[in-house]
Chain A
Amino acid sequence: MNSTKTGSVVVIGGGISGMLSALDLANSGFYVYLVEKGPSIGGVMAQLDKTFPTNDCAM
């Protein structure tokens, strides 16, 4: 590994996967840029009503 690497990560996509990836990275010591093309993060999951199989609210 070379030492010219930057300790930051760009996460492209603000859906559930992108958001959580960004959180894990930020919480484990990396600076994170979360990039989302839409006006808000949340992705498709935020539009769902309930989730299977527990029928928990998706929000």
Chain B
Amino acid sequence: MGNLLEHMGIEKDRVHFSWISSAEATKFVDVVKEISDKVKALGPNKKFVKDYS
């Protein structure tokens, strides 16, 4: 799914897949931090967003 989204122009870093067991708290924190940093760097997404207004 990530591949086609990326192909359509959705930046790769906006979609993330991860396998974290309930015992891997540290990994969860690391992954979430990493993703939020990457997404923050990309700025708000304007693609594939429905405008309800």
Contacts and interface: CB of A to CB of B under 8 A. Distances in A.
Query: Is the pairing of A and B real?
Result: yes
Interface of A: 50, 54-57
Interface residues of B, number: 2
A2 to B, nearest CB: 49
B12 to A, nearest CB: 31
Nearest to A50: B23
A26 B23 CA distance: 31
Contacts of A55: 23-24
Nearest to B25: A55
Contacts of A57: 23
Nearest to A56: B23
6 contacts: A50-B23, A54-B23, A55-B23, A55-B24, A56-B23, A57-B23
